[in-house]
Structure 1
């Protein structure tokens, strides 16, 4: 039995994983979905890591799954605990000393997002549209709940230089949803190749794939675990 520890992206809600959790438990695993202090301006990456460690407690046989902004936190957890596998899911990949705020311009995310919209035959909206970029493939009833409880995200973690000098030695895989409009697949292939030197795996779905395709995601995670 493994312990899947699920680290959410911006907004920090464990609820994001609520469709994936029962899928993993049905496969016989312990699952910890973490609530991060995303709305607390006094909380930075250190507090995020401490929150994850507290949620894990004395569990072992750990597989960390980090969604989007969770990519800033999960490698720091790997420096504090023995982790069997780190799965980056549609995630940010920071460089040493880079702030989360600098990541966007350094990677060219905005242009990649806009260029992908044009390739898809979509007109990039004048202002960021969460439904357009995050919820386009999420079931309507799940989307309605998500939008009704949308949580704030403090800018504090984005102002701090990423503290590691190099990526941890933890075995790491990168899984990207090929229909992600926010972090497009080709963009992630470039960034991950440059920064981690590993191949990006892909699956169907958008940026919030744990909400749109939880069963398929659980199957992919189990494939990583068993191999």
Structure 2
């Protein structure tokens, strides 16, 4: 049975932000489900985000969930509801029981106030450019852009234009799980990530998951900057899990 990779976007993002590695994995013969979450719906919280993923994978087996950024809050909820072989966190947030996403930044000791404001502005407004209080990040792909600084200018501009409005509701409510799910978990960080710097994520992964993360080059969106390398990583994880 072929592994199905389930690609879950972060805040204010959609399936388009996964389109390059999705195409790469399909070309290699894998099943791919790229999910659009109801991020613009002010009635939808994390439970409804999990509902969307569960509905998208209905009837499928051999699932590898791949969660980017804010999806670190959603993917474990899915693992508690459907059989999952592997959870891969890519430059992702790792919650603790009862912790709201809005509280995560301070609770983890995120080191950069300006980047933190940019990240929160994107989560709340769905804007990749011109976030209030972060004027230097107004140009997608610029050295100050915490999201797309390593993308070609045209791709960076399109990625920013594809931001969706992100409701504040899921960030305001506590993470409802009592513990991390009993599922094999891999963590992949990006060494040039400006939103979640590598030393910061190494500490988060160690303290909250007890793991040493894998690392690759790139900024916060490796699915756009290095889709083939990311597909290689995911394929390797899937093969190692299937061999157990």
Say whether the fold is shared (TM-score over 0.5). Answer: yes
Alpha-carbon distance in 2 for matches of 1:81, 1:113: 38
Q: Is 1:113–1:181's contact at 8 Å kept on the other side of the alignment? A: no
Q: Tell me the secondary structure at the aligned position of residue 109 of structure 1.
A: coil
Name the counterpart of 2:110.
109
Alpha-carbon distance in 2 for matches of 1:166, 1:103: 16
Q: Is 1:113–1:184's contact at 8 Å kept on the other side of the alignment? A: no
Which stretches in structure 2 are left out of the alignment for 5+ residues? 116-131
Q: Is 2:13–2:162's contact at 8 Å kept on the other side of the alignment? A: no
- The Cα of 1:173 is off from its aligned counterpart by 0.4
> 1:63-212 counterparts in 2 under 5 A?
63-111=64-112, 127=134, 129=137, 131=140, 132-212=145-225
Q: Is 1:135–1:143's contact at 8 Å kept on the other side of the alignment? A: yes
Using the size of structure 1 for normalisation, the TM-score is 0.92
- The Cα of 1:77 is off from its aligned counterpart by 0.2
- The Cα of 1:110 is off from its aligned counterpart by 4.4
Q: Is 1:9–1:68's contact at 8 Å kept on the other side of the alignment? A: yes
| Residue range with higher mean Cα deviation, 81-90 or 126-135 | 126-135
Change (3 A) 1:12 1:51: farther
Aligned-residue RMSD, C-alpha: 1.7
Name the counterpart of 1:120.
none
1:92-118, Cα deviation, whole Å (9 max, x unpaired): 00000000110011112243876xxxx
- The Cα of 1:144 is off from its aligned counterpart by 2.0
Name the counterpart of 1:122.
none
Alpha-carbon distance in 1 for matches of 2:23, 2:177: 34
Alpha-carbon distance in 2 for matches of 1:69, 1:29: 25
Change (3 A) 1:215 1:75: same
Which stretches in structure 1 are left out of the alignment for 5+ residues? 115-124
Q: Is 1:12–1:37's contact at 8 Å kept on the other side of the alignment? A: no
Q: Is 1:178–1:185's contact at 8 Å kept on the other side of the alignment? A: yes
Using the size of structure 2 for normalisation, the TM-score is 0.85
- The Cα of 1:126 is off from its aligned counterpart by 5.5
Change (3 A) 1:126 1:42: closer
1:166-186, Cα deviation, whole Å (9 max, x unpaired): 100100000001110100010
- The Cα of 1:138 is off from its aligned counterpart by 1.3
| Residue range with higher mean Cα deviation, 97-106 or 139-148 | 139-148
The count of aligned residue pairs is: 218
